[in-house]
Amino acid sequence: MKHLVGKVQTKKVPFMGDEVEIRKLPVHDIMELQEEIKKSQKKNDHMGLLFHVLKVSVIGADELTKEEFETFPPSDLNELAEAVLEYCGLSDKSAAGN
């Protein structure tokens, strides 16, 4: 099992008529994400949290600015975030076995 430490798992998912590659988040990143969730709830900053989730999980998204993220339709960003959460085992769909 030790040989798998640090291995990054990815898959391609549809986004806006194209494809992007997402990575499965390790426990460390999920713990950091939980802290970001707490911060965003205090600030009521749903979009900031959405941008953070996508920056850490979508290959290449860490290079996007806030202004560039704001050019995407919110519904497409939400669908992408849901795909990430499902892939990481954190969504209602993954818990239900779908």
pLDDT for 96 equals 53
Question: pLDDT grade, residue 42 (50/70/90)?
Answer: confident
Domain ranges of the chain: 15-90
Task: Please check whether residue 62 is in contact with residue 55, taking contact to mean a CB–CB distance below 8 angstroms.
Answer: yes
How far is the C-alpha of 15 from the C-alpha of 21, rounded, in Å? Answer: 10
Enumerate the β-bridge partners of residue 19: 14
The whole-model pTM stands at 0.83
Note the pLDDT tens digit of each residue in 58-67. 999 999 999 9
Q: What is the DSSP track for 34-78? A: HHHHHHHHHHT-HHHHHHHHHHHHBTTGGG--HHHHTTS-HHHHH
Task: Please check whether residue 53 is in contact with residue 82, taking contact to mean a CB–CB distance below 8 angstroms.
Answer: no
